[in-house]
Chains A and B, each alone.
Chain A
Amino acid sequence: MNFELTNEQQMLQDSVARFIQDNYDLESRAKSAASKSGFSQDHWQTMADLGWLGLGFDEADGGFGGGHVDIMLLMEQFGKGLVLEPLLASVILGGGALKRGACAELKTEILPGLIDGSRQLALAYAEEQAHFDLHDVITTARSKDDGFIINGHKSMVLHAGTADQIVVSARTSGGQIDENGISLFLIDADAEGVKRENFPTVDGLQACEVTLKDVIVGSNRLLGELDDGFAILNNVATDAILALSAEAVGAMEILYKDTVEYTQQREQFGHPLADFQVMQHRMVEMFMEYEQCKSLLYRATMEAAQGSATTQRTVHALKHLVGKSGIFIAENAVQLHGGMGMTEELRIGHYLKRMIVIDAQFGNADYHLQKFAA
């Protein structure tokens, strides 16, 4: 048992922390969010140059062979800055499907650009009727000639607006909620029959509704085996939950620390707010929840890194706790900041919005509690 970071991990953490510190004040973030792509192209390039986009890929695929712990360290710092750049969407979701399912040829075609920042991916897995179930898929892929024709509607596709290619889950056999019979395809975002409606999300990011009408895709763009896409999708979702949870833990740290600082400065009734016991106890609760989430994040991350058989269950536990505690901490941070916490001017509220969205992504606290208890 060892919680110490290696020298390399320490360097990574320091370098991401420094980047956030230097670049991610609220004003610059708002400016990037308001730009057309919804994030900073310069930051994106920096992230590529520093090797962060290739962290999760094997050296054989042109990556840096980092593991779950590295991604955790990166995302935790991203959470502190509420980073806008589409690392989750492009690298962990889209890239995650590619590295698990693409043949060598397709990897060679796509991954170098993904890692050097010139190519962006997205993952279209959600459908309206599915709520949080990855295996509830209506979109169909019919085989025709040497390929497939895809028809359907994909929802809330993170950063699809700026993506070059989109990984799409589609039903190739079986019933609507069968795990078998789902296949993954890599389609060009501007292929004929692909319609993307881009819109902002409440946390300052962007997503698309994607309509697919008779979209033709070659069989060489099938990821993994036919009908066997669910296993890949599920593993990508596990990585995504780990990444989102790390991000949330970073955000929680900011929330509780900002609150501790603010309540010491703000005076009411002739005392700093932090002198009041009711405030102190609340902040202690926030701090406790943060530490517990961090512990469970470490547990889940290390289990995943080891390929432990209990990983899935621990990840359910993690997403439940992070959803519940993240919102608890964020809502109380707003409450203890009083009216100021309700303004766009202070960063607290922006973290609350992100925390709400993180809870809603890949299954909320209730959903994972049920999965865990099942």
Chain B
Amino acid sequence: MDIELGSEDLAFREDVRGFFAENAYKAGEDYNVWRLEWFKKAAQMGGWDVPKWSKEFGGPGWTPTQHYIWEQETATATLPWDMPFGIGMVAPIIMAYGNEEQQKRFLPDIRARKVNWCQGYSEPGAGSDLAALKTKAVLSEDGTHYTVNGTKIWTTMAQIADWIFCLTRTDDSGIKQEGITFLLFPMKQKGIEVKPIITLGGAHSVNMVYFTDVSVPVENRIGEEGKGWTYAKGLLQHERTGLAGISRSIVALEKLKEQASSVKRGNGSLMDEPSFRAKVAELEIDLMASEYTELRSLASASAGSAPGPESSILKLKGTEIQQRIAKLTVEAGGIYSAAWGRGVGHKFAKAGMGGYLASRAFTIYGGASEVQKDVIAKNVLGLKRSTT
């Protein structure tokens, strides 16, 4: 065991910093032109546009330490806006379970950020219990296409998505995890209706999506019929690890300290108040531990072994930390956090409340914390589940 960065790693870090500095967004630039150009240049660095993709599919094939360095640096640099659904979610499934033709057809556009994807998993009756999903896909008699009917909920960015990757039910005769089929299809077609769901901050990012006799060619099925659950499960684990956001939280905590220091209290600032200071310190300690939990998880993943037990706690800890930071930011804003949609008083207070409200979903989506704990109890601690 050794935490010293080797000379190669230090050189890599310099390269990453250099790249971020050189390609940073400059005021006045056309954002979209810059964004696509950034990804192009990152690709030329050897797969930096798709850091988590394997070498086989054009990824950089980094060591865990390099991933860690990248994570750390991206938390402070301003990277172009990106959605996780293509690059991080459907692509790994296409790579692992799609056929060669599907890989050729979908991966280049995903990599070029040409196509926006959304995820059709949750349903009104299937939230934490995702496998209870009912959206029906019926294969035509001639075996050429599926007809999809049903409703998806909490579909993030469905309103701008070009394609959806979707869990559908093709068989309900057996246990619910069987008979689920993984389909890909375009969003802009007859039979698909997207209805916005407005969340607490008044934002529209999630939607209801209704399918009425949507026709999906059988070539758009990933893997075998009825095996979709197995494919999706691997991804869910991937998604959950990604949701921990430890590096981002480290940066967010530093920002919170600055903000709290700008709030005057007597001769000092809010940061000098013991109770506030203690809460910040507790967060810092949790983050110090979580950072190494993430590193241990990265190390076991790159060694090719199954994710170790430590990775299971990352989403739980990480999201809880994000919520605590968001809440402390609101506290630091004092009464100004209540002003809605405009900056009054402390400059940071305007964004604080929206961030706090949004953060309440972190322990709900991607597997609610209660369910995550069930999974750990069962899979990691080997405990038997009681009936309820």
Contacts and interface: CB of A to CB of B under 8 A. Distances in A.
B338 A203 contact: yes
A48 to B, nearest CB: 27
A366 interface: yes
Interface in A126-147: 126, 128-129, 131-132
B360 A335 contact: yes
Nearest to B176: A270
Contact of A370 (B122, B264, B275): B275
Contacts of B334: 131-132, 360, 364
Contacts of B276: 366
B275 A126 contact: no
Contact of A268 (B127, B327, B342, B345): B127
A277 B346 CA distance: 43
A207 interface: yes
Interface in B328-386: 330-331, 333-342, 344-346, 353, 356-357, 360-361, 363-365, 368-370, 373, 386
Nearest to A346: B200
Contacts of A201: 338-340
A356 B337 contact: yes
A27 to B, nearest CB: 14
A360 B331 CA distance: 7
A315 interface: no
Contact of A369 (B154, B275, B363): B275
A269 interface: yes
Interface string A287-326: 0000000000000000000000000000000000000000
Given A199-B344, A202-B340, A277-B388, A344 B335 contact: no
Contact of A343 (B197, B263, B266, B337): B197
Nearest to B388: A275
A335 B368 contact: yes
A278 B200 CA distance: 25
B127 A360 contact: no
Contacts of B327: 327
A215 interface: no
A338 B368 CA distance: 8
Given A334-B360, A342-B200, A199 B340 contact: yes
Contacts of A101: none
Contacts of B143: none
Interface in B236-290: 263-266, 270, 273, 275-276
A339 B127 contact: yes
A155 B344 contact: yes
Contact of A360 (B122, B199, B273, B337): B337
A361 interface: yes
Contact of A131 (B199, B270, B365, B370): B270
Contact of B339 (A132, A156, A366): A156
Most buried by B among A128, A131, A269, A366: A131
B219 interface: no
Contacts of A366: 273, 275-276, 331
A103 B265 CA distance: 35
A366 B276 CA distance: 8
Given A200-B341, A344-B199, A335 B388 contact: no
B202 interface: yes
A339 B270 contact: no
B196 to A, nearest CB: 10
A202 B350 CA distance: 10
Interface in A322-355: 327, 331, 334-335, 338-339, 341-345, 349, 352-353
A176 to B, nearest CB: 10
Contacts of B263: 131
Contact of B344 (A209, A335, A343): A209
Interface in A89-136: 126, 128-129, 131-132
B264 A356 contact: no
Contacts of A12: none
A200 B275 contact: no
A209 B345 CA distance: 9
A231 interface: no
B331 A268 contact: no
Contacts of B344: 155-156, 199, 209
A370 B336 CA distance: 21
Interface of A: 126, 128-129, 131-132, 155-156, 177, 199-203, 207, 209, 267-271, 275-279, 327, 331, 334-335, 338-339, 341-345, 349, 352-353, 356-357, 360-361, 364, 366, 369-370
Closest 8 CB pairs of A and B: A268-B129, A275-B388, A202-B340, A349-B200, A201-B338, A344-B198, A357-B338, A269-B129
Given A177-B266, A201-B340, A360-B333, 19 more contacts: A132-B335, A155-B345, A199-B342, A199-B344, A201-B339, A268-B127, A279-B370, A335-B364, A338-B364, A339-B153, A339-B361, A341-B360, A342-B360, A343-B200, A352-B200, A352-B360, A356-B330, A360-B334, A366-B331
11 contacts: A128-B345, A131-B334, A132-B335, A155-B344, A199-B342, A269-B132, A278-B370, A334-B360, A335-B363, A349-B200, A366-B275
